[in-house]
Structure 1
Amino acid sequence: MKLNCKMIVALLMVCGVVYGDGDARVIELEMMDEMTMPRIDGVIEDDEGWKDCEWQDGFWVYQENVTVDQKKKVGKEGMWEKTKYKVGFDESYVFVGVKCDEAFVEKMKAAKTARDGEINVDDCVEVMLGKPGRAGEYYHFIVNSLGTVFDDYRVQGGHMGNKSWDCAGLKMASRVGEDWWSVEMAIPFASLGISDAGVVIKGEDLDLVFNVGRERYASGQWEVSSSSKLDRFLDASRYSTIRLKDFDAERFNLKWARDIEISRRWSPSYVLGESDEACVWSGMIELMRDYKKPQREVWCRKVGDEEWQPGSHADKSGNAWWVNASADKDDRLMEIEVREYETGFVLWRKLVEVEGGGGKPFEFVWVKDRFYADEKGDTLSWVLKNQVDGKYDMDSEKWSVEVEVEVDGGEPWILSKQKNAWKTYSQKKLRAEMMGWSKILLHGKLLYDGKVIETDERVVQRLISDDGVVRLKDGLVYVDGQRFYPFGWFSVEEKDWGKAKEMGCNTLMIYSLAMDEPEEQNRKLDKLAAMGMKVVIYPYPERWMLSEARHQALLNEEERAGIRELVERVKDHEAILGWYIGDEPELKAGLVERFKQVNALIREVDPKHPTILVNNSTAGIADYAECADILMPDPYPFFLKKGSNRFGIDVMKRLLEVAILEQGKMLGERSVWVTPQGFSMADFGNSDNREPNEVELRNMFYQSISLGAAGQIWWAWRYGKKYPEMMGAMAKIGEEYKQIKWVLEDEDVKFEKVYGEGYVGCRFMKRGRAVLDVLVNLKDEVNVVHGRQMRAMGVWAVLEGRQLKSN
């Protein structure tokens, strides 16, 4: 079948929002002839695979109401060269070919060679391709003339990007001619997340937002143009659309029975030093049974290897597979494919990061490392993971695992001993004479034939009173043994602390305090304590520890020493509420194991205060759930000047439910807070955005409470205070908080969720009597909830029979 590309300049609906400016494009595509696919060698015009595909041109100058052709006519010679592209698809790939005219080929910037580096400082081409079935999300590719690739996954309309995503199976080539250069790409559908949760694809055609951009430096100036007319380069709402006619998206839609976890396993010979054989990765892939689809199989390989290894069936159902691949000690990525058994057609592919940090074959993956004053402390609990695989060339009966305890510096004694033990969850009682302990060293040993091969240690501490302790009991916050509901702001300047307190705030998150000199830190902490305020701070004493490069590396000794010194010095101050260990780490491709290390270090040095981490996506929440005691997602709806908001006010519900679900999987005391939106994205270049109004602010406040968030810290005072009307509305909400605060902090009050189609709510009961009822309309229209007609995004809140406010 030949490709037919029809340009339609018309009224366009993108992701459910209508734009009629006349500059947006819909390109309708029919499937390409599979016998003549593009070669992907950088040459477009002489490639039979492209011969039936029309060139698309008419690029716009970025942030100007003028085309490149118009600009070129009035500009200097050599300025604003023409760019054009072709786009097509077959059953497996989206193909993109871009050709750039260039009068000064020899002056092109072409220096970047590292994947996911700052490639946009070179002459480059950018391609944005929408995620199937997910509004406001897309994949972003940048390629320079050397063929170096940057790829990331962007969410929230393009505002946020996740560099940790790499397009598995991407084919790409570039070519430089005498007066042109070009890029070809083949982007596999199997890597576009069609099987991800929440993806809904309707109809026979598949619409994907699409844009081609170019950044040019060869003329001596920075020239930016794109196939869509844009005010903001990464704003997906203004991109064009490619419509893939009769595309079978359902073929790629797999349903997972469990999350994929790939972990390291070492052969005994490697651990014993008898050879330098590499470790082995091992994991399970399990799909839901689907009799309507062809039989499937799983293949895997280490990234960089040419050979694929077949997965082996893990059960009789034929829907679960073990995957194994040899790897070097420091390799972290494994490539996995799910294919149709008969045809070999690839349905899903992904680069999966291997669990475990730094290549440790034997470790405690969880320990109950804190005992509170009301706990007996007579039983120790732990999960110990042994990843040395005894199935290989050593006698498995000779392997054993011992756990010793050293109580308050006394002589160690064996608490547990198991033969041939792999991952184990254990609970062991202490001896009666040990009941008065305050600190225990838990010492794990992996032995072969009685010889110690590997060890790991964890510190367990006992808190003798509630003084100065911030505890997360049943997900709720207790300070000094009393219930506490954190309500406050990020980034409040010292001169505004008093005003924030007047508005009901009891908690601040101050980014810079950790980097202050010790004397200044103490002064500020003393002042906050005198005001009756709590504060959350970074554990990082130096800004370089927050860099993108450090996000992607394990803790070094300088970082460990710096964190330990800071935490040790201020941990007993009454103003400290918790440690803010990460701010949307997924946007910097932060190494999960790094944040586990930070969390473990703080828990050892300061057992009295929890760690807190913010994520801006469901994927980020799931990835980093083990890294902190408190997950605090920031589900911003992004409020619009023309219309309501970009992602729905119920984006809070979606992210909070995932956070609560993930915390429920974890052992130990955990909690979920939230960071609502108290600012305008217009302050970050998104000119079509605005600040939230009173109805929207109140919705987010009560929605957070109804969904079970145990605290809320709004982002961010520094930007929000620019909007007096919004801050006036927040002052009113602060007054409501003061009125219901006793309900949120009363130990005798029981909480019940209320929810249904298009709304959430809650009821707080005390001794069988309702003291607070809340209903929150999540719809951007009038909604009848429990017989009450509620305005768009309205709230109904009744405290002891008295309605707090009606909207």
Structure 2
Amino acid sequence: MRGINRNILRGTLVLSYIAVIIFILFGISSLYSYLNTGADRSGMLRTEIKKIDQYLPQLEWASLNNEGRVMDDQTLYAIQNDYLDAWYVKHVAFKTNSLTGIDDYYTETARKNIIEFVEQNNDKNISIVGTTLSHNPTLDFFSEDGKLAVITDKDVTEYKRIYQDDALVLENKEKSTYKIILLLEDGLWRIRHMIKEVSADDINKFESASKDFKSLKGINYYPQDSPWDMFGDKFDTSIIEKDFKIIKKSGLNSIRIFVPYEDFGKAHVKPEKLNKLKQVLDLAESQNLKVVVTLFDFFGDYSVLNWTLNQHHAATIVSSLKNHKALLGWDIKNEPNLDFKSRGKTNVIAWLDNMIDLVKSVDSIHPVTIGWSNTQSTSILKNKVDIVSFHYYEDLDKLDAAIKIMRTEIPNKPLVLQEFGISSYSGLWKPFGSSDDDQANYHKKVQEIIAANNLQFISWTLYDFNEIPTAVVGRLPWRKKAQEFYGFIDKNGENKPAFKYISNQ
């Protein structure tokens, strides 16, 4: 009996020993499998979805005709995989403001810009939801040692939604060309440089639009019966069409119009207002007139907290009109320097600076300007705008000197005299005002100065108006009355003597 017990005990010990050995071997095997799984690049983004299900933009390589070493299919496929992975992890980084996977697909130098961009967006609570929809890469160079490749990716279709504080700020779709250098490191093709190029087509379009500014002969336009309320209840395309024919026949080639911020719906632009704006550009195109669109009329709140709302407003309008053939350019704001004292000069300039960037990010083709109320402010943001615009209602004898100063301070930008004029009102509220003949002599002299200085111009304005809104010049009757008589055409529809000098043709 005792012998049997010993055998049982011995058997139990042997089985226990075997079980322990099996358990240890199982644990080592599991650990090994886990470590191998961690090295699988399909799990780098902490997702169970494989890359093929994450990101599959259209991609078509150009025929291989590169300099350097001959490219084999296996290496080209590896470059393609890692290149698309790099785009994908960057999309994720900009969406989540994290850097997961960036180290694997970008070299230390290339990571710096991404890290700074993510940190900046994180601070401002900005996130970018984006993707690329198509790529058209060309292999330009493959080094003899097989560790460096240079590609040009043409017409990359990018779609982006930019959010700030969870509110949609901008939605944009564009095509761009990139120059990329990739290095083979640790078995991965990492991006060393990625440079976005401006396409020759975009440059040509921009230069063409800028040339139109250099031959600009225009007028600030409101219909006679709806000044400062062009897109309101009195909107009438037949009246606008008739006026545009008058403008074209007079020798002018452009108009400047105004988009009131609140009337158009602020952040949520009203479709019916946008449709009226498009109709105006359609009518201008039918008469071969170009249009300068002034944004943010009747606007004065430059609070940083509202920037996202302002951007959404501008992005909606700019994206809707940027391909219109009648569009000449964008005027960010009418006379913003008049808000320096009440709103703070620093605040206004920062808002303008940001809005220029926003408009250019949506429309890279058409020039951008600011309608300064005087010549003294024109140097502000001179390196950001494409055209320098100023208004002049002062002594004409001093205009020549003011132009020379601006040309010295801003030597490489076209100058546009964007508003000028004189009222022909002389009556009860201003007994020593100017007459119709005085107005004609004023415009004759201005056109002489314009010609002598090779200036572009947009005069104020086509019509004398029957009623001036209080919001424009206040309630003082002598100010409102004078404002009614700046036109080249009187209240009865007759040309005033100044009409002879509406253009310098």
Structure of greater Rg: 2
Report the TM-score, using the length of structure 2 for normalisation.
Answer: 0.47
Greater helix fraction, Structure 1 or Structure 2: 2
Report the TM-score, using the length of structure 1 for normalisation.
Answer: 0.31
Greater strand fraction, Structure 1 or Structure 2: 1
Q: Which has the higher contact order (CA 8 A, sep 6+)?
A: 2
